[in-house]
Structure 1
Amino acid sequence: MAKFATYYFQYIHGFGPHEWEDRQRHLAALFDGDRNVVFGEGTPTEEQMAEGMPYKRVFEHRVYHLRNYPDIIVMQIANSIDVPMEKNFEHKVVKNEPLLFVIIDNREGVRTVAIQNRREAFSAPKRVADILAEKINKVLYYQHCYSLKILPEYYPEDLFKAWEEQQRNANALRFPSSYEMADDEIMRKVEELKTEGKEFFDDRLIPSILAMATEAKKAKYKGKYTVMPEDKKTALYVDKTTVYMRNLLTLARATGEPVEIVTKGGTTFRCFVESDGDNTDKIVHSQFDDRLLEMLFKGKRPDGERAEREDIDKAETKIMEMLNGMKHVSEDVEAEENAA
């Protein structure tokens, strides 16, 4: 499984942009094919300029548009690393081009960018985001006089604050059901929290919940505790009073695991129960099987067999499920910037 960091596009409405309303179409045009845009860094040498290379180092990339959802773009981007080695008593330099995946959700009003966190290729997802933004900005500003940023999506600091903001649209909460911490370590943390005297800390059900989590882990089951209102048409309002909710909140706070708020529209917000110095400002990550992404480009299943249309459809559906869970809708800067 691979980790994907959640980023998003933010378009900046400059002075007198051309066709601002078509900005997502302009972005799509850049990724219409593998050669529509070139990513790289550094000033090219005279020899490279003669060969038509716009950068000293070019990061090759390939794109794939989902068949069923063409506004979803999957991209492979490769680094270009010189690796010194010795062979037959001679020093040589060979090229190594480790790659990672970037998924762009360019559906109407959506701005999500998922960047694989793979240190073998790039030191951090932010480096990839900067490479993409630098080139895309040059093209968009030159052609249409507006720009964009690629920004990280952070965990909100406080579940209750986010829940209060979203409670009219909140449809469910999802709590983690497996934990990295040992049970005795969790219970010690719970005892510490109880001394703070906050009304929602309660541990009466936690031993039973942990026992269930242990058995699930033994049986290799993975899931989440989903809390929904009994009447599906009712919003899930903030609840700090019921024994069930108080125990789930306490356990999530003790383990430092995020809670997911799911809205009626399918958007998911990931939040920590309370602000914590160790947990704030962390970029949201999602887990995904990168072998399914490789299948889109290679045309072969993870087992090496030829990928049939049914295999591709299943992979695309899983990609959509991940993107719907990290969906970032428009947060463009619509007001014109002050030129003064």
Structure 2
Amino acid sequence: MASSLLRRVSGLKDNFLWICLHKRVISNSTKVFCENNLPQAGFYRPNEGVMLPPGSFKNKVAFITGGGTGLGKGMTGTLSALGAKCVIASRNVEVLKQTAGEISNQTGNEVHAVQCDVRDPASIKACVDELISVAGLPDVVINNAAGNFISPSENLSANAWRTITDIVLNGTAFVTLEVGKRLIKAEKGAAFLAITTIYAESGSGFVVPSASAKAGVEAMCKSLAAEWGRYGMRFNVIQPGPIKTKGAFSRLDPTGMFEKSMIGRIPAGRLGTAGEIANLAAYLCSDYASWVSGAIIRMDGGEYVSMAGEFNDLRKVTKEQWAMLESMIRKTKGS
């Protein structure tokens, strides 16, 4: 019935009728189908328990950039719990050491902290030298280091643009090339994973450097999945929707004013969690996913498709308003 109704609405010649109704819908905030308290979240409770069997990464080495906080910390914790020897890297070595000690105490497995600025090829080379020295060539490489801020594009300077693209696109490329060349020489395979965002696919205003750089990362991963598969390397991407981590939200929603509207457009009715991303990351980097390469997997509670559909805002229409609309359509058809 709803799809039939939508077809009739979209075919109405009397646009004024629809505009008037639409204005009334927007102004009426009671009894809507999808309120911001979103009771449907009860159907989509997060399960952050480790998904894969114990020992899934035993005798494997995982290298995670941006591993000291947020999603990187979550993925490191899960991989370590599954038996991996983890090496985490970022510029802030003190945070890295704290995270490494915390995770190692929890899992009983080694976690090494190595300082690295992914914008600098020389720093990456030194980092990978240390990675190999303390743990060996990696079986898993997760490019998670990122930078972002919100800004009207007309306010961006060349340096602001360069800062984000150097971390996100160039940093991911430099790490991948440095590690990949060494793996090829050693005739060793590995699983590479990049963390991007849903707006790498759609584009987004006010975060244009990030959107552009993340889209470049996705193109690179798809390209290398095709080219370096013969060397035993797999490349996959996760596009997370909004996940409330301290680092990301402090830059992108410092006042908290957008959180409610974010949740309001997610059909699952809640934000994601770092543990959920970590489980997907662990699967994609595991032997269980050995036939998965070149994939870009969106994990966002349905946010992307919710924003994309032209008529999706009709979820705000109440039952009473649907009844009024149907009555108007009957009258229009009869005239």
Q: Same fold (TM over 0.5)?
A: no
More strand by share: 1
Aligning the two structures, in what range does the TM-score lie when normalised by the shorter sequence?
Answer: under 0.3
TM-score (norm 2): 0.22
The two structures have a TM-score, normalised by structure 1, of 0.22
The structure showing larger relative contact order (alpha-carbon pairs under 8 Å, at least 6 residues apart) is: 1
Structure having the higher helix fraction is 2
